Amino acid sequence: MIDTLAGPEIGEADALTGSDLLASIRASRDLENAEAARQLDLAARWADLHPPESIHSAAAFTVPGTDHEEPLAGEGCPLVAEFCIAELGTVLGISTTSAKKLIGHALELRHRLPRLWAQVQFGHVPAWRARTVAETTIHTTPALTREAAAFVDAQVSAVAGRIGPAQLARLIAETIKRYDLATPDPTADPEDGYLSVDPRHVTLHDEDVHFAGTMRWEAELDIADSLDLNNVLTQKAAEQKALGSTESLDVRRSKALGDLARTQTALDLQTSGEGAGEERAGASTPDHLPVAREVILHAHFSADSVGEQTVFGPTGRLEEGQRLVLLDQVQSWCGDSRTKVTIKPVIDLNAEMAAPGYAIPDRIREQVMLRDRTCVFPWCTRPARGCDVDHVVEHDHQAEPEGRSQPGPTSTRNLACLCRFHHRLKTHSAWRYRVTGPGAYEWTSPHGHHYRRDHTGTSAIDPGPPERP
Q: What is the pLDDT of residues 269-314, one digit of tens each?
A: 444 444 444 444 444 444 455 445 455 566 666 666 556 665 566 6
| Run of H or E residues at 248 | none
Higher-pLDDT residue of 391, 315: 391
Q: Strand pairing of 388-391 and 323-326?
A: unpaired
Lowest-confidence region among 116-125, 223-232, 336-345, 437-446: 336-345
Q: How far apart are the first and last CA of the chain?
A: 35
How would residue 419 be classed by pLDDT, with cut points 50, 70 and 90?
A: very high
Cα 131 from Cα 203, distance rounded (Å): 30
Which tens digit of pLDDT belongs to each residue from 148-172?
999 999 999 999 888 899 999 999 9
Mean pLDDT score, 231-246 = 90
> Is 415 in a helix, a strand, or coil?
strand
290 vs 369, more confident? 369
Q: For residue 388, name the pLDDT band (cuts at 50, 70, 90).
A: very high
Average pLDDT over residues 254-270: 68
pLDDT in tens, 176-187: 999 999 876 666
Give 229's contacts (C-beta < 8 A, 6+ positions apart): 221
Residue 459 · residue 441 · CB < 8 Å: no
Say if CB 86 and CB 23 are below 8 A apart: no
Kindly report which listed range (89-98, 234-243, 321-330, 396-405) carries the lowest average pLDDT score: 321-330
* Residue 123 pLDDT: 94
Q: Which of 316-320, 356-360, 465-469 has the lowest mean pLDDT?
A: 465-469
Q: What is the mean pLDDT of residues 382-389?
A: 93
Give the H/E segment covering residue 463. Answer: none
Which one is predicted more confidently, 186 or 468?
A: 186
Residue 142 predicted with pLDDT over 60? yes
Looking at residue 54, what is its pLDDT?
Answer: 74
Q: Give me the pLDDT at residue 350, please.
A: 76
Confirm if 75 and 145 have CB atoms less than 8 A apart: yes
What one-letter code names the amino acid at 348?
D
Looking at per-residue pLDDT, the higher value among 240 and 271 belongs to: 240
The whole-number pLDDT of residue 267 equals 46
User: Span 84-110, mean pLDDT?
Assistant: 96
> Can you say how many angstroms the Cα of residue 237 is from the centroid of all Cα atoms in its chain?
37
State the alpha helices, DSSP H only, in 357-419.
362-372
Beta strand segments in 103-244, E: 201-209, 215-220
DSSP codes of every residue in 306-324:
ETTEEEE-SEEEETGGGEE
Q: What is the pLDDT of residue 37?
A: 97
Give 134's pLDDT tier (boundaries 50, 70, 90).
very high
Beta strands in 184-297 (DSSP E): 201-209, 215-220
What is the C-alpha to C-alpha distance for residues 382 and 444, in angstroms, rounded to an integer?
Answer: 20
Residue 229 — φ and ψ, nearest 5°?
-65, -40
- What does DSSP assign to residue 184? P
**Among 69-83, 142-156, 185-199, 443-457, where is mean pLDDT lowest?**
185-199
Range with the lowest mean pLDDT among 220-234, 273-287, 356-370, 413-427? Answer: 273-287
Whether 153 contacts 116, CB under 8 Å: yes
Task: Share the mean pLDDT of the chain.
Answer: 82
Q: How confident is the model at residue 310, as a pLDDT?
A: 58
130 has pLDDT over 50: yes
Ranking 2-11, 144-153, 238-247 by mean pLDDT, the lowest is 2-11
Q: What is the pLDDT of residues 14-55, one digit of tens each?
A: 677 889 999 999 999 999 999 999 999 999 999 999 998 877
C-alpha 437/C-alpha 452 separation (Å) is 11
What is residue 213's DSSP assignment? S
Which region among 79-88, 186-195, 434-443 has the lowest average model confidence (pLDDT)? 186-195
Give residue 53's pLDDT. 82
pLDDT at 327 over 70: no
Residue 307 backbone class (left: φ over 0; alpha: ψ -120 to 50; beta: rest): left
Is residue 72 over pLDDT 80?
yes
Query: Can you give the pLDDT at residue 6?
Result: 52
* Spatial contact of 44 and 107, defined as CB atoms under 8 Å apart: yes
Greater confidence (229 vs 99) lies with 99
- Residue 173: closest CA among 190, 159, 188: 188
77, 71 contact by CB (below 8 A): yes
Q: What is the model's pLDDT at position 400? A: 85
Residues of the chain above pLDDT 70, percent: 72
Q: Say whether pLDDT at 69 is over 80.
A: yes
pTM of the model: 0.71
Residue 148 burial by CB count (10 A; 0-12/13-18/19+): exposed, middle or buried? buried
pLDDT at 284: 42
Burial of 76 (0-12, 13-18, 19+ CB in 10 A): middle
**Contact (Cβ atoms closer than 8 angstroms) between residue 261 and residue 310:** no
Residue 208: predicted pLDDT: 72
Domain boundaries, the chain: 2-184, 299-335, 354-461
